[in-house]
Amino acid sequence: MHRRSVFFVAALASAAASFGAEQVALAQDAPDSAAAAIRGLERAAGGPVTVRRSATTGTAAFVTTQHGRAIQLATPPGTTAAERAKAFVAAHGGLFGLRDVSEAEIVHVEGPDAVGMEHVRMRQRQQGVPVTGGELFVHLRGGELVAANAKTLPPQNVNPVPSVAAATVVERVQATLGKDIDLTGATFSAPRLELFNRGLLEGRASPTYLVWFVEATNSERREFIWIDAQSGAVLLHFNQMPEALTRQIYDAMSTDTLPGTLARSEGDPATGDAEVDKAYAYSGDTYNYFFTEHGRDSLDNAGGKMIATVHSCPVSCGCPCFNAYWNGTQTRFGDGWVIDDVLAHEWTHGVVAFSAGLIYFVEPGALNESYADIFGETIDLGNGAGLDTPAVRWWIGEDLPENPYYLPSGFRYMMDPPRAPQWPLLTGGPGKLSDPQLVCDVSFDSGGVHYNSGIGNHAYALMVDGGTYNGFTITGIGLTKAGKIEYRALTQYLGVASNFQDNYDAVRQACTDLIGTAGITAADCSEVQKALDAVEMGYPWPCYCGNGVLNAGEQCDDGNRIDRDGCSSRCLIEPSYKCYQGKDLKNPEFAKTLADTTDQLTTEQVKVKKVRFVCLPVDAGGGTPPDSAGHLTCYQVKAAKLSPKPQVEVTTQFQTSRFELKKPQLLCAPSTLAILP
């Protein structure tokens, strides 16, 4: 939950093509051996199996059986879960792009759990090098496989020998990124080689590189950085620090110091400092919820200390700081931000870090934020503290003090995400995948993690309370059942690069696993699926043109399932859309919006290049002029140039008065748009 400055920069994806490394795109068509592998699974299961394959890699993303069958493993009695998982890879690993068992490194084994299942987590390797985000999860019951889910690459032909020496990596990072982000006092992890395919993190086709990965950590950041091991170019970086029972509460005394001065430890009496004592109490509420409901012993499930700092004033936030953070080790809170749902939200980031490990970027980052909201609000609704009236049910941050950035009722509304305007876009998040509030720009908010989390939030609120939405009527199953299902999905089925479709599979399978426990029934699982379907959790990510498949009604692959977005099934600008040129717009002090007029172009034939934004002083839906504050309607577009060959252009609408755009761009918008001088 972090308040960020608004800096819009070019997307990194298209820039990667110029780095000169070997570029091996993901396979768009599954190999012929996939069908044979599925037949092998069906023979082992004695009937049909359900296999969801990645649209970009062709490898299996989720495998489960039908009608209660399980896949039999050819292992003798007494073999360990790790040995059984390896046997599954040996027999069926080709479906996941694994050539042999050496490409699946076991990193964690858990169980048997309360329903008798064991879970084995593996990291994908190729040529001995770990694949960034490449994972396989095998879920077992005795000598049978119940399900398997994965995020893997098919075999890649990348030189595993780096040209850039490990000893030069930190110096290169400091020289390249030091001028853009604050690395003051940062400590750097030892560089490690990885096979990096950005598309595996974003759900689209992308080249594969040998990279050096390094993490830079200071009080403000946990910057994850990948640099090309051949050219030294930075391919991707982002801050992994999410923003927003042995307890230790520290007092920073309105400084940036961490952890600060110890103010209260486990078993100590109240101090009289409201922030210290609330942090102590709400940390206990969080621990007790996860231990009582899910048997989890602290964040790491090993009794680890819960360290929180109050009265904190990070340099980047100011003082007082209107924010809260999890920095990978502890939580920290600005004055007034020690409230139950916010504190439980931040602690849940710790649970996520020690379980699924979801990266803080695009879809995995949105899921990270969503799970933090899900359990933060669940704890808020059950701990008997703070404001919990029906009017504020499902609001995050309803107990915050008055501040200039959020509504008095809070800053996210899980039951109706578009209703809660968040700073700085001053718009809510999407309630379903096809909503116009979906953020696609990867350079903003780590890919819209605080906005796009609304989709998972909405699904959970519908699961719990029920409702009618998007053509579905859901009967609520209550907090207890829904919480257990989501917890199992998070801790047993999700990995570092899991996306919305993976979460769709994970939640459904988690519910199936839990039938017969905690009162969960098959009928409950039907309601869970309806909630997921209502928010379109299982739909392909719509932000990229081209998803490797022809969706219904498409004559070419525009990668988009949303109607009336300017992109037709023929991959042309829809007839009702016209293109405009937005001239220089800037708002350096966020005090006054300066906007030039726009000119209509004589062609709709634009060629997609890089992600950009453009603002117009009108509303595309009704031609409303800007209000007294000078608000503009802003669109996320693709930087474009005239081309003799028609190409697709997609737009997304945003509402904001705090916006910066420095170069003229093209915008495609409905032809009814009235251009005002």
Q: What's 188-214 look like in SS3?
A: ECCCEEEEEEHHHHHCCCCCEEEEEEE
Q: Which of 139, 237, 311, 450 is catalytic?
A: 450
Residues 6+ apart with CB under 8 A from 160: 127, 128, 129, 193, 210
SS3 of residue 511 by DSSP: helix
pLDDT at residue 405, rounded to an integer: 64
Distance of CA 460 to the CA centre of its chain: 16
Predicted TM-score of the model (pTM): 0.69
Q: Residues 630, 657: contact at Cβ < 8 Å?
A: yes
Q: Helix 479-488 crosses helix 522-534 at what angle (to 10 degrees)?
A: 80
Sign of the dihedral through C-alpha 551, 434, 578, 613: negative
Four-point Cα dihedral 380, 437, 207, 88, nearest 10: 40
For residue 161, the 8-state DSSP code is S
Measured distance CA(560)–CA(568) in Å, rounded: 9
Q: Residues 149, 63: contact at Cβ < 8 Å?
A: yes
> CATH top-level class for 14-24+159-239?
alpha beta
User: For 164-212, what is each residue's pLDDT tens digit?
Assistant: 999 999 998 888 887 778 888 889 999 999 999 988 888 777 889 999 9
By residue count, the chain amounts to 677
Topology agreement, domain 33-151 and domain 355-544: no
From the list 544, 560, 662, the residue with the least C-alpha distance to 610 is: 544
From the list 74, 80, 176, 196, the residue with the least C-alpha distance to 132 is: 196
Low-confidence ranges of the chain (pLDDT < 70): 1-34, 67, 242-244, 403-409, 422-426, 544-677
Helix, strand, coil percentages (3-state) for the chain, rounded to 5, are 25, 25, 45
Q: Residues 241, 218: contact at Cβ < 8 Å?
A: no
pLDDT at residue 436, rounded to an integer: 80
From the list 135, 85, 77, the residue with the least C-alpha distance to 110 is: 85
Phi–psi pair at 314, nearest 5 degrees: -55, 145
For residue 12, the 8-state DSSP code is S
What are the sequence ranges of the domains in the chain?
14-24+159-239, 33-151, 355-544, 577-670
Q: Residues 635, 621: contact at Cβ < 8 Å?
A: no
User: For 623-668, what is each residue's pLDDT tens digit?
Assistant: 333 333 333 344 443 333 333 333 323 333 333 222 333 333 334 4
pLDDT at residue 367, rounded to an integer: 97
Measured distance CA(270)–CA(314) in Å, rounded: 26
Query: Mind giving me the DSSP string for 324-370?
Result: EEE-SS-EEE-TT---HHHHHHHHHHHHHHHTT---SSHHHHHHHHH
Q: Is the peptide bond before 390 cis (omega within 30 degrees of 0)?
A: no
Query: Mind giving me the DSSP string for 412-461?
Result: EETTSGGGSPBTTTTB---SSTTSTT----TTSHHHHHHHHTHHHHHHHH
Tokens for 117, please give them.
């299942």
Residue ranges with strand state E in 14-143: 49-53, 60-65, 71-72, 104-110, 118-126, 129-141
Measured distance CA(637)–CA(609) in Å, rounded: 10
State the distance between the two ends of the chain, measured CA to CA, in whole angstroms.
38
Residues 6+ apart with CB under 8 A from 277: 264, 270, 271
The rounded radius of gyration (Å) of the Cα atoms in the chain is: 25
Sign of the dihedral through C-alpha 392, 395, 399, 404: negative
pLDDT at residue 637, rounded to an integer: 39
Query: Fold for domain 355-544?
Result: Neutral Protease; domain 2 (1.10.390)
If one counts every other C-beta atom within 10 angstroms of the C-beta of residue 229, the result is 29
Q: Residues 441, 414: contact at Cβ < 8 Å?
A: no
If one counts every other C-beta atom within 10 angstroms of the C-beta of residue 539, the result is 18
SS3 of residue 128 by DSSP: coil
450 is catalytic: yes
Measured distance CA(10)–CA(313) in Å, rounded: 31
Q: Which of 275, 346, 363, 486 is catalytic?
A: 346
SS3 of residue 222 by DSSP: strand
pLDDT at residue 408, rounded to an integer: 66
Task: Enumerate long-range contacts of 263-267, CB under 8 Å, 24 or more apart.
Answer: 263/310
Measured distance CA(571)–CA(552) in Å, rounded: 13
Amino acid in position 390: P
Measured distance CA(150)–CA(491) in Å, rounded: 14
Sign of the dihedral through C-alpha 182, 251, 307, 447: negative
SS3 of residue 130 by DSSP: strand
Q: Residues 569, 649: contact at Cβ < 8 Å?
A: no
Task: Enumerate long-range contacts of 635-638, CB under 8 Å, 24 or more apart.
Answer: 635/667, 635/669, 636/439, 636/440, 636/441, 636/611, 636/612, 637/611, 637/612, 637/613, 637/665, 637/666, 637/667, 637/668, 638/608, 638/609, 638/610, 638/611, 638/612
Residues 6+ apart with CB under 8 A from 167: none
Phi–psi pair at 214, nearest 5 degrees: -145, 145
Phi–psi pair at 495, nearest 5 degrees: -125, -170
Residues 6+ apart with CB under 8 A from 103: 93, 124, 125, 126
Tokens for 234, please give them.
């930075």
* CATH architecture of the domain formed by 33-151: 2-Layer Sandwich (3.30)
Q: Is the peptide bond before 424 cis (omega within 30 degrees of 0)?
A: yes
Measured distance CA(677)–CA(674) in Å, rounded: 10
SS3 of residue 215 by DSSP: strand
Q: Residues 123, 116: contact at Cβ < 8 Å?
A: no
Measured distance CA(139)–CA(148) in Å, rounded: 6
Measured distance CA(149)–CA(202) in Å, rounded: 17
Residues 6+ apart with CB under 8 A from 203: 56, 362, 363, 499, 501, 540, 541, 544
